[in-house]
Amino acid sequence: MLRVRGSASRAQLAVATELSRATISEITGDLRRAGLIVRSKGAGSSRRAGRIPELLTLNPDFGVIVGVEFSHTRVTVIATDATHRIIGSQTRDHDREEPWPQRLATAIRFIDALVPSHAPLIAIGFGVPGAIAGRADVLAGVARQFIDRYSVPVRSENNARLAGLAEFSWGAGQDVNDLIYVRLSEGVGGLLILDDEPRLGTTGAAGEFGHVCLDPNGPVCRCTNRGCLEAYVGLRTVFSRAGAESVGALRDALDRDEPRARAVVADAGARIGLVLANACSVLDVSSVVLGGPFIQVGDHLLRTVRQSIMRHAHGGGADGLRIRLAELGNLDGALGGVALVLRDHTIPLAIPATKRSEEARTA
Ligand SMILES: [Zn+2]
């Protein structure tokens, strides 16, 4: 519970685990004496007259968790401790054609700079763009380099999913237990959370909202099918239709009320909303979170998406539905790498360094 939540009071732990307060007190007492959990230095220390309950966290001295996002044009690395406290982050933009060995070298330079020499590295979670199924070679190559250098467990996922996982853990979705997250960028990906768990599907391809078909006779998509959502609302398509070169330029055009920009964004919002409405009709989730660089164009997009969902969702699907923008900005993908590690209970957070390298070899 503390791995996933970061911190919690005994009462919160009792509710979440459905154990009695007495049992929780006993367990947390044992864990504290063993040095595995500690009183949070945050809210717990400012309690007055015992009215604010003491918060517990894992021991921050366990070491450092690293999240890495490789996007098409950027490497981002973030380091946290086991209590979810951010130690630092670094990011570098690069050309689209930058070869993988250089991207990896950048990530390794950042990791070496961010992990303090006295603190052990616990594990690395990283993401790459695109569907995981088609990228097994890249994933294995990157993981091998990290394992060879650091001898720690390494996990990987698609960037959009990692961003969704971060929003669910710390951002716009942290107070709900089911949501649809869609990341609007050059590609359109997403993550589905039901009953507090990410749903990856039978083949691990769930949440590909960008490849929902809107028109079987529509434009050819990157995936070779026709009429996918991404073929209409992928950022490069949007830019070329709107005659804008960047999200900033598109936002400026919207601010100036330019009809062409407004029409293009309204059309994109309507299509995104249609796909989300259909998903909501099927899944009846409580929340939709929109993320990715496209959302930086401002309210016009959110408004048109919302209108479209309300218009198309069936009955209960849109009743009380919460539609929000992502909150974590450009660190979302790298933060998701940390969340991936924290949620993976096969990765021990507190084990001797020698055992840790054995675990890395078997991973
Ligand atoms: Zn497609």
Which pLDDT score, from 0 to 100, does residue 165 have? 97
Q: What is the pLDDT of residue 110?
A: 98
Domain around 49: 2-58
pLDDT for 47: 47
CA–CA separation, 120 and 99 (whole Å): 29
Q: Is residue 166 part of a domain?
A: no
Q: Are 267 and 187 found together in one domain?
A: yes
What are the angstrom distances between the C-alpha of 212 and each of 117, 215, 354? Answer: 47, 9, 47
| Closest C-alpha to 341, from 157, 185, 87 | 157
- Please report, rounded to a whole number, the percentage of residues in the chain having pLDDT higher than 70: 91
Question: Shortest CA distance to 133 belongs to which of 197, 223, 51, 210?
Answer: 223
Question: Taking all residues of the chain, what is their mean pLDDT, rounded to a whole number?
Answer: 91
Same domain, 232 and 294: yes
Cα(211) to ligand 1 centroid in Å equals 4
pLDDT digits (tens, 9 = 90+) for 210-266: 999 999 999 999 989 999 999 999 999 999 999 999 999 999 999 999 999 999 999
66 and 141 part of one domain: yes
pLDDT above 80 for 271:
yes
CA of 221 to the centre of ligand 1 (A): 5
Q: What's the CATH code of the domain at 19?
A: 1.10.10.10
CA of 304 to the centre of ligand 1 (A): 22
User: pLDDT of 218-230, one tens digit each?
Assistant: 999 998 999 999 9
- pLDDT of 50: 55
* Spatial separation of the C-alpha atoms in residues 213 and 275, rounded to whole Å: 9
Judge if 200 and 233 occupy the same domain.
yes
Q: Which of 200-214, 253-267, 349-363 has the lowest mean pLDDT?
A: 349-363
Ligand 1 centroid distance, CA of 209 (Å): 9
The answer to whether the CB of 301 falls within 8 A of the CB of 276 is no
Is residue 149 assigned to a domain?
yes
Distance 213 CA to ligand 1 centre (A): 8
**Angle between the 100-114 and 136-150 helix axes, to the nearest 10 degrees?**
40
CA 233 to chain centre: 21
Q: How far apart are CA 65 and CA 81, in angstroms?
A: 6
Residues forming a β-bridge with 290: 182, 325
Q: How far is the CA of 39 from the centre of ligand 1 (A)?
A: 49
The answer to whether residues 70 and 99 belong to one domain is yes
d(CA 94, CA 103): 8
Please give the pLDDT value at position 204.
Answer: 82
Q: Domain for residue 343, yes or no?
A: yes
How far is ligand 1, taken at its centre, from the CA of residue 210, in Å?
6
Compute, in angstroms, the gap from residue 58 CA to the centroid of ligand 1: 42
Q: What are phi and psi of 10, to 5 degrees?
A: -60, -40
Give a yes or no: residue 300 inside a domain.
yes
Residue 339 CA to residue 162 CA, distance in Å, equals: 8
User: 9 and 69 in one domain?
Assistant: no
285 belongs to a structural domain: yes
Report the distance separating Cα 209 and Cα 229, nearest Å.
Answer: 7
In a domain, 169, yes or no: no
What was the pLDDT predicted at 354?
Answer: 47
Residue 143 within any structural domain of the chain = yes
DSSP 200-225: --SSS-TT-GGG-BS-TTSPBPTTS-
Task: Name the phi and psi angles at 352, rounded to 5.
Answer: -60, 150
CA–centroid distance, residue 187 to ligand 1 (Å): 9
CA of 232 to the centre of ligand 1 (A): 10
Calculate how far, in angstroms, residue 363's C-alpha sits from the geometric centre of ligand 1.
32
Tokens of 223: 């995936």
CB 292 within 8 A of CB 183: yes
Whole-angstrom CA distances from 347 to 56, 124, 329 are: 21, 10, 27
Cα distance between residue 114 and residue 105, in whole Å: 14
The stretch 198-213 carries a mean pLDDT of 91
Residue 32 Cα to ligand 1 midpoint, Å, equals: 51
Q: Quick one: 121 and 209 in the same domain?
A: no
Looking at the predicted structure, is the pLDDT value of residue 316 above 80?
no
Looking at the structure of the chain, the number of domains it has is 3
Tell how far the Cα of 204 is from the centroid of ligand 1, in angstroms: 16
Q: Does one domain contain both 45 and 130?
A: no
Q: Give the domain CATH number at 147.
A: 3.30.420.40
Which residue among 58, 78, 103 closes a domain? 58
Tokens of 220: 């050819």
How many Å apart are CA 141 and CA 107, to the nearest integer? 14
Ligand 1 mean position to 199 CA, how many Å? 20
Query: Any residues with CB less than 8 A from the CB of 318 and at least 6 apart, and which?
Result: 277, 280, 309, 310
Task: Please determine, for residue 45, whether its predicted confidence score (pLDDT) is greater than 50.
Answer: no
Same domain? 6 vs 116: no
289 and 212 both lie in a single domain: yes
Residues 73 and 134 in one domain: yes
Query: Does residue 132 share a domain with residue 25?
Result: no
Q: What is the reported pTM? A: 0.90
Q: Angle CA(205)–CA(211)–CA(212) in degrees, nearest 5?
A: 105
CA of 243 to the centre of ligand 1 (A): 23
Do the beta carbons of residue 250 and residue 242 sit within 8 Å? yes
Contact of 277 with 323, CB cutoff 8 Å: no
Q: 115 — phi, psi (to 5°)?
A: -85, 115
Residues 343, 4 contacting (CB under 8 angstroms): yes
**Ligand 1 centroid vs 294 CA: distance in angstroms?**
18
Q: Say if 167 falls within a structural domain.
A: no
